Amino acid sequence: MGKVIGKSVNRKDGVEKVTGAARYVDDMKFPNLLHAKVLRSPYAHARILEVDTSRAEALPGVKAVITGRCFPNITGLYIGDRTVLAQEKVRYVGDPVAAVAAETPEVAEQAVELIEVEYEELPGLFNPCEAMQEDAPLIHENINQYNHADFIDPVPDSNISNHFKLRKGDVEAAFAEADYIFEDEYQTPMVQHVPIETHSTIARYNLDGKLKIWASAQSPDALRELLGVIFNKPLNQIQVETVPIGGGFGGKAGLTPETPIAICLSSLVRERPVKLTYSRQEEFHCATVRPGIYANYKTGVKEDGDIVAQEIEYIWDAGAYNDYAVNVTKTGGYSCSGPYEIPNVKADSYCVYTNHPVSGAYRGFGMCEVHWGIEQHLDSIAEELGLSPLEIRLKNALQDGSLTVTSEVMQDVAYSECLEVTAEQIELEKEEESTSPTKLRGKGIAGAYKGPSTPPNASSSALIQILADGSINLIITATEMGQGTYTSLAQIAAETLGVAIDDINVSTPNTDYTPHDWQTVGSRTVFSTGNAVVRAAEDAREQLFDYAAEDLGVEAADLDIEEGIIFDTTEPANEDKRVPISKYALGLQYADGSGRGGQVIGRGIYMPEGITNLDEYGQGKTVNHWTFGCHGAEVEVDTETGQVEVLKMTTTFDLGKVINPQLAEGQLEGGLVQGYGTAILEELIIEEGEVLNNSFVDYKIPTAMDIPEIKSNMLETALEEGPYGARGIGEPAMIPAAPAIANAVYDAIGVRIKELPITPEKILQALAEKESKG
């Protein structure tokens, strides 16, 4: 264990958050602030014939009104398919059509109601399986013209925004040799992230053309780059500041519409900042959601449980705009079989436009969706073959030397250990007595793997500034949305530098001053930014040692730092050769008052090495590291009401190196409970494109009363590339919760729920069907 790493130090942002002092975007005040409201489409799919804003503009207190015509530039992170406001068409219920900035929120809302829009309704496409057909009407007529990343493949003249193809081995031959072939279908609905802080932004367009943005944005740099495209601005004319974020989970990643809308409005009333905060209702259906999936599996196995071939089709309901979802579905594609070694795999993952809410990144980035099917399908196969859920997993689990579905060679994999620890802890084989004759107990496990799902060259950077008194500023653009970024990165900095955690202050991301970080997503921050911090700290040490070597007459290689004191490792007790880092913070000073150098500013950059885009068959190494783990669940199913009580859950993940046990455990628990929510409670109920449950009254997330008893286990199989061996954990912790619960439900009552969530009505129906079949 390190001096700082591996310790549960308190959060850097604890005091400001428990006292209410932390200022989130919506808490910020400006004397000349304007308030924005958005007019949204009531139709799922319609042509905009006319927008009349004259009555809104005439309302006293209204300062700016915009429509789609004002800002026609198109953009997107991975595929540019979106404008600030809808142009000629609306593509989902909630598509922004016009927006108003006014002196008060009340006036803005009244003004929005005065805008008249004439629509011509078009037929909607609500099922991706239908929308992907060749003869389906196009939701995006210009799909052939859209710019996209080189690893995204839209299908021309279709609603398929990305077709990811994976071909490994010879599937046909392997199926012919398989002893058994099993086929199965699974589905998950769209769900929402539900951060307690809704999306919020403040934008000020200055008279000199500079943009200043305060946003609850996970990715200040990505946001700035995309805004640069929309507004044709050099990036140094755009300043994005990210104050504390009230929960992100992927929904505040990339470019979300509220910021460009606020900028457009402010551009008409320069120097006046415009605030746009989503209502909870808007958050549910106009912010990002998780895509739905239709998953089809065909799996060939040998009698002993060895999986020899798999054919997979993933069809994603990605909603109206897919600028982020295309990469979710690609990730689903290149991770298609889960953490198992299968020699022959054919997979097609289709990202499909529908007239549903806009989907994108959500904790797990496609992995929750694909593991829902993979991990249940495995249990079904195991049962047919007379194997236990643990046996079939161990038989096929990825381990050192295994090849993934993309033929990447695995190393430092402890997936099997995760499975074994969990199975032992929940006593998977042991049957438990239920509390009542109408209730049945069951246990289940499910595994997961995930990599950060970034482009191969996604990089991070960090600066470490040593101040005159030896205190330190860590300057980064990785954002803090609750996951503990500031604290864990400060621990890495302190450990590497050889100082105390309290000596480190972490800056708030501000793109004018803080160095580039691709995005705070994908559980990549401890790994990628962490590596940059290590390098920045090492760079700072070198600078300190350079000064100290000369000053103390000691070889730089013999110097070390502990608790902020530089000392000679060859004679550590020599007080003459022990000096605080503050002595060299601003350079080396000589006896005559002159000096050399200047402030110690450590610079660290990191870009993963050895990974590239996949080839046309989806083969290669494109993932910078993988995290493995599993969940175990014990449930009690009420066979009369269909209600599932999740009694206990165990979560075991290999974190490589635990930087902060308490915070890491918080990620495991939080992820598990979010996964529990999707298992039991959550779905967007959408009818003809309209979200019917866009409030907390009918979209239920778990309360404290709902949570199971949770046991967490953290393994540490060091990742060679990771800072101190660490792997990402934020998202993985959510992934296997739902299938583990579903497998436990199956164990209890012998029926398999294949479509999330596991509702009481589905249970009762399945039980009735089972009974009628005898």
- Enumerate residues 157-216 that contact another protein by CB under 8 A: 193-198
Strand pairing category for 200-205 and 211-215: antiparallel
Least CB distance to another protein at residue 483 (A): 7
Q: What residues between 218 and 237 interact with another protein by CB under 8 A?
A: none
Among 78, 186, 249, 527, binds another protein (CB under 8 A): 249
Q: Does 662 bind another protein (CB under 8 A)?
A: yes
Three-state SS at 51: strand
Q: Mark residues 734-773: x for contact with another protein by CB under 8 A, - for none.
A: --------------------------xx--x---------
Measured CA to CA, the distance from residue 242 to residue 25 in angstroms comes to 8
Give the list of residues 6+ apart from residue 210 with CB closer than 8 angstroms, or none.
237, 238, 239
Q: Is 671 in the site for another protein (CB under 8 A)?
A: yes
What is the smallest separation between the CB atom of 633 and another protein, expressed in angstroms?
14
Closest approach of Cβ 345 to another protein, in Å? Answer: 34
Report the nearest approach of another protein to the CB of residue 758 (Å).
Answer: 12
Among 94, 366, 452, 482, binds another protein (CB under 8 A): 482
Footprint of another protein on residues 542-581 (CB under 8 A)? Answer: none
673 touches another protein (CB under 8 A): yes
The residue (of 1 and 697) whose beta carbon lies closer to another protein is 697
The span from the CA of 89 to the CA of 36, in Å, is 22
Site for another protein in 368-387 (CB under 8 A): none
Q: Cβ contacts of residue 773 below 8 Å, gap of 6+?
A: none
Site string for another protein, 484-503 (x = CB under 8 A): x-------------------
Q: State the minimum distance, in angstroms, from the CB of residue 261 to another protein.
A: 19
State yes or no: residue 23 binds another protein (CB under 8 A): yes
Is 485 within 8 Å of 559 (Cβ atoms)?
Answer: no
Nearest to another protein of 23, 69 (CB atom): 23
* Closest distance of CB 115 from another protein, Å: 16
Stretch that binds another protein, among 172-180, 222-230, 242-250, 328-336 (CB under 8 A): 242-250
Q: Is residue 10 involved in binding another protein (CB under 8 A)? A: yes
Question: Which amino acid is it at 340?
Answer: Y
Considering the complex, state which of residue 407 and residue 667 has its C-beta at the smaller distance from another protein.
667
What is the rounded CA–CA span in Å between residue 615 and residue 621? Answer: 9
Task: Give the list of residues 6+ apart from residue 478 with CB closer than 8 angstroms, or none.
Answer: 460, 485, 489, 509, 517, 520, 525, 529
Nearest alpha carbon to residue 412 among 141, 645, 251, 627: 627
Please, what's the b/e burial string for 424-440 (b: 16 or more CB within 10 A of its CB; e: otherwise)?
Answer: eebebeeebebeeeebb
DSSP classification of residue 451: -
**Interacting residues with another protein between 92 and 121 (CB under 8 A):** 105-106, 109
Q: Which of residues 263-282 bind another protein (CB under 8 A)?
A: 279-280
Residue 567 pairs with which residues in a beta bridge? 560, 578
Q: Of residues 3, 22, 52, 587, which one binds another protein by CB under 8 A?
A: 22
Residue 374: closest CA among 416, 403, 332, 331: 332
CA distance 740 to 346: 26
Which one, 588 or 734, has the nearer CB to another protein? 734
Query: Min. distance of Cβ 565 from another protein in angstroms?
Result: 28
**258 is a contact residue toward another protein (CB under 8 A):** no
> Nearest 5°: CA angle at 194, between 190 and 199?
110
Size of the site for another protein (CB under 8 A): 72
Per CB under 8 A, 24 contacts another protein: yes
Binding region for another protein (CB under 8 A) out of 48-56, 411-419, 569-577, 671-679 = 671-679
Helices (H), 592-724: 661-680
Shortest CB 382 distance to another protein, Å: 29
* DSSP letters spanning 220-274: HHHHHHHHHHHHT--GGGEEEE----S--TTTTSS--THHHHHHHHHHHSTT--E
Q: Which span (24-32, 219-227, 228-236, 526-534) binds another protein, by CB under 8 A?
A: 24-32
- Considering only residues 598 through 617, tell me which ones interact with another protein, judged by CB under 8 A: none
Q: Is 148 helix (H, G, I), strand (E, B) or coil?
A: strand
Sorted by sequence, the CB contacts under 8 Å of residue 767 that are 6+ apart come out as 639, 642, 749, 751
- Piece of 89-97, 231-239, 658-666, 740-748 that binds another protein (CB under 8 A): 658-666
> 13 or 221: whose CB is closer to another protein?
13
For another protein, the binding residues in 693-722 under the rule CB under 8 A are: 693, 695-698, 700-707, 710
Q: In the bound complex, what is the minimum distance in angstroms from residue 264's beta carbon to another protein?
A: 23
Determine the Cα–Cα distance for residues 66 and 68; give it in Å rounded to an integer. 7
- 473 vs 311: CA distance, rounded Å: 51
Minimum separation from the CB atom of position 651 to another protein (A) = 10
H helix or E strand, kind and range, residue 379 = helix 367-385
Give min distance, CB of 485 to another protein, in A.
Answer: 11
Q: Which residue has the tokens 């409030």?
A: 695
Q: Which is nearer to another protein, 29 or 430 (CB)?
A: 29
Residue 560 CB, shortest distance to another protein, in Å, is 31
**Burial (CB count <10 Å: 0-12, 13-18, 19+), residue 589:** middle
CA–CA distance, 353 with 158 (Å, rounded to integer): 9
